[in-house]
Amino acid sequence: MTDTEQTPQHVDVEWLSEHLGDPQLRVLDATVHLSFDQHGAHVESGRAAYEREHVPGAAFVDLIGGLSDPEGEAPFAAAPSERFAQVLGEAGVGDDSHVVVYDSVNGIWATRLWWQLGLEGFDRVSVLDGGLAAWRAAGLDTSAGVETYPAATFTARRRPERIRSTAEVEAVVEAGEEPGVLLINALGRDDFARGHIPGSVNVPFAELVDAEGRLRPVEELRELFASVGALDAGRRPVTYCGGGIAATAAALALAELGRNDVAVYDGSMNAWTADPARPLES
């Protein structure tokens, strides 16, 4: 891909299979395992799953251990720019790379890495539509073990307009219905009904993809987002979810519709509900 070509938000397995040998291509597995039980949420690195099976040539990037900030306002908080640049450089991503990200779960960890790359000013990134499941379904070979790319220099240029803090979201809520901002909750409809930030609308991330985990056609996405006012040019979407992960899937879908002004509330409900004084609607 040349500099004059626009990097697609998504690529399919056929495209990736044909381009695996491209010298500038960097394929990154961003798998994380998230589970819930009576004790709450549990997060496990997807490194072991990657070592069992991955797209040939892909390197693994640890979103939890490497790209989250343990001192952030909530779990999964985006790592500082310096840390992000170090981890991506060690993974072989340079300023001229074309990165393709995927995961082997439900796609939202791949979109999380897509969003973090964009947050740091890097746009040459695509999400593998359908992830590892689509790669397997196409009958393509996979690899095991650990693979790496030569280390590179990644330059982070953070775009602060793409991330929102709890204080900033509080200001929106306290101001009442603000015509310039639209809060979009990306959790399931039942979760949304149980409690959400006042003034929010709901676009569940699970409704953005089909049964195989591939992004729905643009026409269907447009209808879904238009129905809640998310395509109104006078309102800037701010997406959120439970922990800032599924919110990035909504941000990516909106980018497919030409909304490149989306911000993600990184702390999401984890941060919002940390103070019981903050209001919830149900």
pLDDT at 143: 98
Does residue 38 have a pLDDT over 90? Answer: no
Q: What is the mean pLDDT of residues 165-184?
A: 87
d(CA 229, CA 102): 29
pLDDT at 3: 41
Q: What is the mean pLDDT of residues 71-91?
A: 95
pLDDT at 6: 85
Q: Give the N- to C-terminal CA distance of the chain in Å, as an integer.
A: 47
pLDDT tens digits along 9-31: 999 999 999 999 999 999 999 99
pLDDT at 34: 79
Amino acid at 259: R
Protein fold of 161-272? Oxidized Rhodanese; domain 1 (3.40.250)
Between 40 and 206, the higher pLDDT residue: 206
Confidence of residue 42 (pLDDT cuts 50, 70, 90): confident
Q: What is the mean pLDDT of residues 87-98?
A: 98
pLDDT at 1: 46
pLDDT at 175: 81
Q: What token pair was written down for 76?
A: 């999964």
pLDDT at 2: 40
List the catalytic residue out of 101, 209, 241, 251: 241
Domain boundaries, the chain: 10-158, 161-272
Confidence of residue 178 (pLDDT cuts 50, 70, 90): low
Confidence of residue 130 (pLDDT cuts 50, 70, 90): very high
d(CA 85, CA 181): 30
Q: Are 120 and 82 within 8 A, CB to CB?
A: no
Q: Are 85 and 227 within 8 A, CB to CB?
A: no
Run of H or E including 188: none
* Catalytic residue check, 241: yes
Provide CATH code, domain 10-158.
3.40.250.10
Confidence of residue 177 (pLDDT cuts 50, 70, 90): low
Confidence of residue 39 (pLDDT cuts 50, 70, 90): low
d(CA 154, CA 87): 9
Confidence of residue 43 (pLDDT cuts 50, 70, 90): confident
Q: Are 124 and 7 within 8 A, CB to CB?
A: yes
Residue for token pair 């597995």: 29
Between 169 and 74, the higher pLDDT residue: 169
Q: What is the mean pLDDT of residues 127-153?
A: 98
Mean model confidence pLDDT for the chain: 94
pLDDT tens digits along 215-265: 999 999 999 999 999 999 999 999 999 999 999 999 999 999 999 999 999
Residue for token pair 């909504």: 250
Q: What token pair was written down for 265?
A: 């509330």
pLDDT at 158: 98
pLDDT at 142: 98
